[in-house]
Amino acid sequence: MDQWLENEAHLIERARSDPNAFIALYEHYFPYLYRYSYYRTKSKQETEDEVSQTFLNKMENIAKLKQKGIPFGCWLYRIAGNIIYHNLRRKNRENSLNEHTFISEIEITPE
């Protein structure tokens, strides 16, 4: 693992200009993020979407990453956690809206 962390900084620097270098980071962290997301969502489809969003977000913004001695995986877990949280909030909001009966949906019949 220590060797991985040493190589990680080099891979991040290469990935800033070469998207193919990002593949090694993806292959290393994918199983960990998949388990992390699946444990929270219990849905294969949601897990796949959230892990994809996480890596896409990091790949698009890797040039902005400032290395401060924090492992790359910590950033990925933070992004994944935020995505999971926002998706669960959105889903809960949609469910609560679906459960409410709106006045416009009530049928009024003359007696």
In a domain, 82, yes or no: yes
48 is a domain residue: yes
pLDDT single digits (tens) 24-40: 999 999 999 999 999 99
Specify if 45 maps to a domain: yes
Total number of domains in the chain: 1
Show the domain range for 67.
Answer: 2-91
**If you write DSSP's letter for every residue of the chain in order, what string do you get?**
-HHHHHHHHHHHHHHTT-GGGHHHHHHHHHHHHHHHHHHHH--HHHHHHHHHHHHHHHHHTGGG---SS--HHHHHHHHHHHHHHHHHHHHHHHHHHHHSPPGGG------
Quick check: 1 pLDDT over 70?
no
In a domain, 53, yes or no: yes
pLDDT digits (tens, 9 = 90+) for 49-97: 999 999 999 998 888 888 787 888 999 999 999 999 999 998 888 777 6
For residues 25 and 49, the answer to whether their CB atoms sit within 8 Å is no
CATH for 70: 1.10.1740.10
The mean pLDDT value for 42-55 works out to 95
